Amino acid sequence: MSAHDVNEQTGVDMLKARRSTTLALDTIRSFLHNGEDQWETRRKVTQILERDAVFDKARREFMSRTERYTRGMALTNRVYELQELHSWTQHETSIAIATLDEQLPISLHNVAFQPVFMLQASPPLLAKYSDLIATKGILGCYLQTELGHGTNVSRLETTATFIPETQEFEIHSPTTTSSKWWIGGLGKTATHGVVQAKLILPGGKDFGPHLFFVQLRSMHDHKVLPGIKIGDIGPKALGGFSPTDNGFAVFDHVRIPKEHMLSKFAQVTRDGEYVKPPHAKLSYGGMLYIRANMVTSGGWLMAKAATVAIRYATVRRQGEIGPDGLERQIITYPSVYYRILPILSHAYVFIRLGKTLTKAFDTLAGNLSRGDTSLLAEMHAITSGLKVVVSSTGVQDLEIARRSMGGHGYSAFAGLGRLYADYLPSVTYEGDNFVLDQQVVRAALKSYRSLFSESKESTTQSLLPSSRYLRLLIPPTRSLPSFTEDDFRSPTTSILLLEWRAALIVEKNARTVDDPDASINQRVAKAVTEAFIAAQIGEIINTLGSTGMTESEQIIVGKVYLLYLVTTVEAGLVDLLSFNILNSSGGSRDPTRSVRMTIKKLCTELLPEAIGLSDAFGFTDWELDSALGVYDGKVYEALWKCVQSEPLNQTEVPTAYEESIKPMLLRGQRQARPKL
Ligand SMILES: Cc1cc2nc3c(=O)[nH]c(=O)nc-3n(C[C@H](O)[C@H](O)[C@H](O)COP(=O)(O)OP(=O)(O)OC[C@H]3O[C@@H](n4cnc5c(N)ncnc54)[C@H](O)[C@@H]3O)c2cc1C
C-alpha cells in the first residue's frame, strides 16, 4: 500500500512545479496582457467581480436553461451597475463581460448590433441612438439568418419595401422559411434589432439584402410590438449557449421610418431611387471586427484549457513507479505532454496575433469611415482565414485538454466540457468555416493570377502579407532545401516549409481549377493561413528582445512559439510530403523523424516551465471554475467539495425510490420468487 498521502502530494507537486520555473511571472504576464497597466486593470476588475455574490458560480452546473438565462441577465445588469458605481471605462466594462465566462445576450449587442449600427447608420440616426446604444438604454440584436437560409445571404427572403407616400419601409416575412432564426438576444431580451432584408423599391425591383434598424419591443413594458412575433428557439446542443436567448422573429408588414435604413453607404432617395455605395463591400467592416475579436478570445480560451490541463497533469499521478517510489506525474508521459503543451503554444500565438489584428482593424475602420477601402480585401482574406483556424483549433484543443484528464475530465466540475459546448458553434457562426475557406482560396488565386498575369512583369514587391509566400515561385527555377534535426531548432525552417507548402498548393490549385478534388479548398485555405501565421510568429520571435524579458526568458518563450511552428509542420506532413517539400537528409529514410524528435525535445525542455508559462495567463480559481485546475493543486479536495453540493446528495433516499425504484424491485422480486 502507498505510504504517502495522495491528497497531500498534490499540493507538494504543485509547489515543486511552481518552484522549478525560471521565468519571472510578471514579465511574461505583461507580455501576454500587452503591458503591466493592462494586467493591473484586468486584475482590479476581476477582483471586484470575484468578491461580489452575484457572480458566484457554485450553483451554475445545477441550473435549468431558464435559470441560466435569468442568472445571465442578473450578471449583466450587475456589471453595468458596477460600471456606474466604479466609473469603469468602456474597456474595463468589456473586460468584466469577457471575464464572466458566460455566453450572454449582451455580447450580441456589443459585438454585432452596436458595431454594425455605428459603422453603417446615417449621421441623423447615429445622433438619435448612438448614446442610448452605448449606455444600454436600448438593447440590440443582429437579425440576419433565417430558417431557410444562412450562408447564402443573397437568398434571404425577408423584404423591406419602400413606400414613397409615407416615406416608410415595410418589413415583412412572406414565408415560414423567411422567419429570422438563431438570433442571439432576440428571444427574450432585445428591444431593437438590425434586420437584414431585401430592399424592394417602387416598380418591385429587388436590390438585395440591406440593413434596417427596427424596434422590436415596447420601451414601456417590454411587450413585443404589434405585427411582430418573437420567441426563443429552444435548447442548444450539449447544453451550450444556455444563457443566450437565440430567437426567431416573424414580421407582418411592419412599418419603420425611411431614416431607419442603415444608409451611411447605400441609400434610397425620397422618390425611391437607389444610390449605390461607393464600394460594394464597404459594409463588411462589422463582420471583420467580430472575426478579429474572435482571434483574441479564442486565444484566451485555449489559455484556459492549457492552464487546467497542465495543472491537473502536474498533480495527477498514475501508473509506473518512479525512482522516488511514487507513481509518475501524468504530465511526464510523452503521450500526455505531446497533447497538452501544443495547446499552450496555440494560446501564446493567438493572444499575440489577436492584438496585431485588433490594431490593424482600428486602422481599417478609420480608413473605411473616410471611404478608403484599399485595405479591405487584404483584411477580409486574413480575418477569414484566421477565424477558421482559431475556431477549429480552439474546439479541438478544448476536447483534447478535457480528454487528457481522463475520467475526471468528463465531470462538469472539470470546467472544460461547458467551455467546449459553448465554443462549438464558433466554427459555424460569423461565416461557416468551410464556406470561409472558399473565400481564402479565392483571394489566394487572385494574388497568384495577378502575380503571373501576362499583362505585366511578375513582381514580388506588390505582394501583401497574406500572399507573401508566393514570392517563392519567382524565379520559376526552384530548388527545395533539405533539413536536419538541428535546422528545425530555427523558426525559419518551419516558416519556409509552410510557405513552400502554401505556394505549391496554390500553384497546383490554379492549374487544376477546372477539375478540383473535394478537399482542395480546406487544404489550400489551411496552407495559406498557416503560412501567414508562421510568418507572423517569425516577427513575434524577432521582437521578443523588446519585451523586457531576460535572454533566458526569451529563449523559453521562443520555444513555445517554435513548438507551434513545428507541430504545424507535423500536422501538415501529408501535403509537405505530397509536394516533395520535406526531404530526407543524411541518408535517413524517414524525413519526418527530425520534425517529430524536435517536438519531443522542445516539449521536454518546456516541461519544467509549463506551470510558470500557464500561471502567466493570470487566471484566478474563480475565473477557471475548475476543480482540476485549482491554483494550489489540491484537486481531490476541490472535487470532493463540488460533489457535496449535488442536489441528489441533499436527501438520502431519492423521490424516485417510492415512484419507480421500489415498484421495480418489488416486481423483480415477485417475478423471481417462483423460480427460487
Ligand atoms: C450559437 C449560434 C448563434 C448564432 N447567432 C446568430 C445571430 O445572432 N444572428 C444571426 O443572424 N445568425 C446567427 N447564427 C446563425 C449563423 O450565422 C448561421 O448558422 C451560419 O451563418 C451558417 O448558416 P446555416 O446555419 O444556414 O448553415 P448552411 O448555410 O445551411 O450550411 C449547412 C452546411 O452546408 C455547407 N455549405 C453551405 N453553403 C455552402 C457553399 N456555398 N459551399 C459549400 N458548402 C456550403 C456548410 O459548410 C454547412 O456544412 C447563429 C448560429 C449559432 C449556431
Q: Binding site for FAD, residues?
A: 145, 184
Q: How far apart are CA 248 and CA 581, in angstroms?
A: 50
**ipTM of the complex as predicted:** 0.99
Q: How far away, in angstroms, is 229 Cα from ligand 1 center?
A: 22
What local confidence, expressed as pLDDT, does residue 673 receive? 82
| Residue the block writes with cell 513575434 | 540
| Helices and strands counted in the chain (H then E) | 23, 13
- 388 contact partners, CB below 8 Å, separation of at least 6: 427, 433, 436, 437, 440, 525, 526, 529
Bridge-based pairing of strands 254-257 and 317-321 is unpaired
For the annotated catalytic residues, the residue numbers are 430
Q: How far apart are CA 87 and CA 270, in angstroms?
A: 44
| Any atom of ligand 1 within 6 Å of the Cβ of 421 | no
Q: How far apart are CA 163 and CA 516, in angstroms?
A: 48
Report pLDDT digits (tens) over 456-504.
Answer: 555 777 788 999 999 999 876 667 777 887 899 999 999 999 999 999 9
**How far are the Cα atoms of 85, 94, 488, 505 from residue 88, in angstroms, in the given order?**
8, 10, 47, 49
Contact 380, 284 (CB under 8 A): yes
Mutate to test the pocket of ligand 1, among 428, 439, 442, 522 (most ligand atoms within 8 A of CB): 428
| Any atom of ligand 1 within 6 Å of the Cβ of 193 | no
Q: How far apart are CA 256 and CA 266, in angstroms?
A: 17
Contact 211, 195 (CB under 8 A): yes
Q: How far away, in angstroms, is 146 Cα from ligand 1 center?
A: 10
Q: How far apart are CA 519 and CA 493, in angstroms?
A: 27
Protein residue whose Cα sits closest to atom 6 of ligand 1: 183
Amino acid at 228: I
Q: Binding site, residues?
A: 145, 184
What are the b/e assignments for 541-559, b being 16+ CB within 10 Å? beebeeebbeeebbebbbb
C-alpha cell at 199: 430592399
| Any atom of ligand 1 within 6 Å of the Cβ of 191 | no
- What Rg value do the Cα atoms of the chain yield, rounded? 28
Say whether 199 sits in a helix, a strand or coil.
strand
What local confidence, expressed as pLDDT, does residue 1 receive? 44
| Any atom of ligand 1 within 6 Å of the Cβ of 424 | no
Ligand 1 atom with least separation from CA of 431: 21
What local confidence, expressed as pLDDT, does residue 238 receive? 97
User: Virtual CA dihedral for 632, 634, 637, 639, nearest 10 degrees?
Assistant: 100
- 216 contact partners, CB below 8 Å, separation of at least 6: 141, 186, 190, 191, 192, 193, 224, 225, 228, 230, 249
What local confidence, expressed as pLDDT, does residue 494 receive? 97
Task: Give the distance from CA 631 to its chain's centroid.
Answer: 25
| Residue the block writes with cell 475548475 | 626
Q: How far away, in angstroms, is 228 Cα from ligand 1 center?
A: 24
**How far are the Cα atoms of 501, 594, 597 from residue 585, in angstroms, in the given order?**
19, 10, 15
C-alpha cell at 230: 418573437
How big is the CA angle at 436 (ends 393 and 358), to the nearest 5 degrees? 65
Q: How far away, in angstroms, is 225 Cα from ligand 1 center?
A: 28
Task: Please give the sequence-ordered ranges of beta strands (E in DSSP) within 202-289, or none if there are none.
Answer: 205-215, 228-232, 247-251, 254-257, 267-268, 274-275
- Quick one: which of 483, 474, 537 has its CA closest to 507? 474
Instruction: Return the bridge partners of 213, or none.
Output: 194
What local confidence, expressed as pLDDT, does residue 582 receive? 87
| Residue the block writes with cell 460569423 | 430
Q: How far apart are CA 578 and CA 147, in angstroms?
A: 42
Amino acid at 91: H
Bridge-based pairing of strands 159-163 and 274-275 is unpaired
Ligand 1 atom with least separation from CA of 145: 11
Say whether 606 sits in a helix, a strand or coil.
helix
Burial of 94 (0-12, 13-18, 19+ CB in 10 A): middle
Protein residue whose Cα sits closest to atom 45 of ligand 1: 435
Mutate to test the pocket of ligand 1, among 212, 384, 429, 438 (most ligand atoms within 8 A of CB): 429
| Any atom of ligand 1 within 6 Å of the Cβ of 31 | no
| Any atom of ligand 1 within 6 Å of the Cβ of 534 | no
| Any atom of ligand 1 within 6 Å of the Cβ of 312 | no
Contact 396, 609 (CB under 8 A): no
Report pLDDT digits (tens) over 111-146.
Answer: 999 999 998 999 999 999 999 999 999 999 999 999
Q: What residues of the chain score a pLDDT lower than 70? A: 1-3, 281-283, 454-458, 476-478, 584-588, 675-676
Give 446's Cβ-side CA count (13 Å radius). 11
Phi/psi at 180 (nearest 5 deg)?
-65, 140
Q: How far apart are CA 550 and CA 434, in angstroms?
A: 42
Structural domains in the chain plus CATH codes: 25-102 (1.10.540.10), 138-277 (2.40.110.10), 285-319+328-439 (1.20.140.10), 442-615 (no CATH)
Q: How far away, in angstroms, is 153 Cα from ligand 1 center?
A: 10
What local confidence, expressed as pLDDT, does residue 22 receive? 95
Mutate to test the pocket of ligand 1, among 149, 182, 440 (most ligand atoms within 8 A of CB): 182
Q: How far away, in angstroms, is 248 Cα from ligand 1 center?
A: 15
- Quick one: which of 335, 332, 523 has its CA closest to 441? 523
Ligand 1 atom with least separation from CA of 196: 11
How much is the pTM?
0.95
Ligand 1 atom with least separation from CA of 150: 26
